[in-house]
Amino acid sequence: MSNYEPTHTAPMVSASQYNNQFSGNFTPNQFPQNRCCVRSAMVQPSIDISETSSDVIVSASVSNVEVEDLNLNVTDNSVTISGMAWTGREHISLNRTVALPTSVRAELIDANIQSGVLEIRCPKSERMIRQRNTINGDTIHTEQE
């Protein structure tokens, strides 16, 4: 009786051969084994967008973020929230950009943080408020909130 010796045409490869083929696709420094105790990650905070007749309101979950570690960039059509949160020994980078449903006046925003929720009130541009209040040339009266 002779021992079976697989050839290169064998349908199954050994685990070590598979591991060698797989690990050859990555550089040694791509997945370092001995890292410092501080780890970092990047997350996108959850965001809700709502509208009133005069404002677009963006609410973002930013728990564990100090105000001085938070960056906010508002343009007439987008909001970018970035910053750094610490949880124990780990720091987490936050970064999220969202498109706004309507044009806003970025220079007039009002932002505050309460209970880990950042609320950004962005006044709609006057042109957008007038457009929403007119249907077929007739003015529709809406309550300003």
Question: Is there a domain that residue 121 lies in?
Answer: yes
Question: Is there a domain that residue 123 lies in?
Answer: yes
Q: What residues does 55 pair with on adjacent strands?
A: 123
* Domain of residue 83, residue span: 40-139
Question: Is there a domain that residue 4 lies in?
Answer: no
Q: Which of 19-23, 74-78, 87-91, 101-105 has the lowest mean pLDDT?
A: 19-23
Structure tokens at 98: 């969202």
Angstrom distance (rounded) from CA 63 to CA 61: 6
What would the pLDDT profile of 43-88 be if each residue is shown by its tens digit? 788 899 999 999 999 999 888 888 888 999 999 999 999 988 877 7
Count of domains in the chain? 1
> How does residue 126 score in pLDDT terms, banded at 50, 70 and 90?
confident
Comparing C-alpha atoms, which of 84, 129, 124, 119 is closest to residue 103?
Answer: 124
Give the CATH number, domain containing residue 75.
2.60.40.790
* This prediction's pTM: 0.60
Question: Is there a domain that residue 63 lies in?
Answer: yes
> How does residue 140 score in pLDDT terms, banded at 50, 70 and 90?
very low
Q: What residues does 8 pair with on adjacent strands?
A: none
Helix, strand counts (H, E) of the chain: 2, 10
Question: Is there a domain that residue 134 lies in?
Answer: yes
